[in-house]
Amino acid sequence: MSSSATKATVEEIRKRFDGDVERFSNLETGQAATVDAPLAMELVCQAAAAVTPEARDLLDIGCGAGNYSLKMLQYRPGLNVTLVDLSQPMLTKASERVLDATKGDVATHQADIRDLDLRPNSIDIVLTAAALHHLRTDEEWEAVFSKVYESLRPGGSFWIFDLILSSGAAVDQLMWNRYANYLTGLKDEDYQKHVFDYIEHEDTPRPLMEQIDLLRKVGFQDVDILHKNSCFAAFGGVKR
């Protein structure tokens, strides 16, 4: 991975996603370039529904075209949903889809989560998929995790599905080789190179266990890993 100093800017990332809405609009497949996307979405939303059964307010960070909010509404209908994304075309698509699926309120914010103010004790469930790997510094990671923790009501939960690293170099290389084979099998070697190139340009994922430790550091008491396969994991924590 290249250093954060050479990574894509927020504006560059926003422009790429502005032109990629339809690829993120399939609830059955999720985003196919992520390993086990439908399973992870199911597990994250089932876990959120199970541990926060009285939820009223959902925040979807990096919502894309709204798949995770739509899946969450299958388990907890009627939620008020707040959608956050860098891309306005993504937000427009997500809002249209979510408004059709809930009788609750739907709000949208075109914003970087690093810059968005969240009201303390105002949210029951926070979901984020394939978004946090755009965070750069240690300070940014801790600030976002802390911000989410403070925004949750007691009993609220935070669930993540994302690109991750492994803690040891040998295992990390093994997992990236597995991911390369997955992408080649999904399409071809050119597609594998395309995905790896934009990961190298845009993304700064962190090891799964580092993120688990960070969840505990900012205050989450019950922390669980729901699923891990190659370079992707679903995990989260509960605020008591």
- The residue whose two tokens read 């209908």 is 77
Which stretches of 102-171 are assigned E, i.e. beta strand?
Answer: 106-110, 123-129, 152-163
CATH number, domain of 75, equals: 3.40.50.150
The rounded Cα 215 to chain-centroid distance in angstroms is 15
Confidence of residue 6 (pLDDT cuts 50, 70, 90): confident
Q: How many domains does the chain have?
A: 1
CA distance 24 to 64: 6
Which stretches of 164-218 are assigned E, i.e. beta strand?
Answer: none
Count CB atoms within 10 A of the CB of residue 61: 24
pLDDT at 1: 46
pLDDT exceeds 90 at position 86? yes
The rounded Cα 92 to chain-centroid distance in angstroms is 18
Ramachandran angles phi, psi of 7, nearest 5°: -80, 165
Tokens of 198: 């934009």
- Its pTM stands at 0.92
Cα-only R_g, the chain: 17
Helix, strand, coil % (nearest 5) of the chain?
45, 20, 30
pLDDT exceeds 80 at position 112? yes
pLDDT at 23: 64
Pairing of strands 152-163, 232-238: antiparallel
Structural domain of residue 210, as residue ranges? 4-238
pLDDT at 4: 53
- The residue whose two tokens read 């090891």 is 207
pLDDT at 5: 54
pLDDT at 108: 98
Q: Which residues pair with 59 in a beta bridge?
A: 82, 126
Name the helix (H) or strand (E) containing 5. none
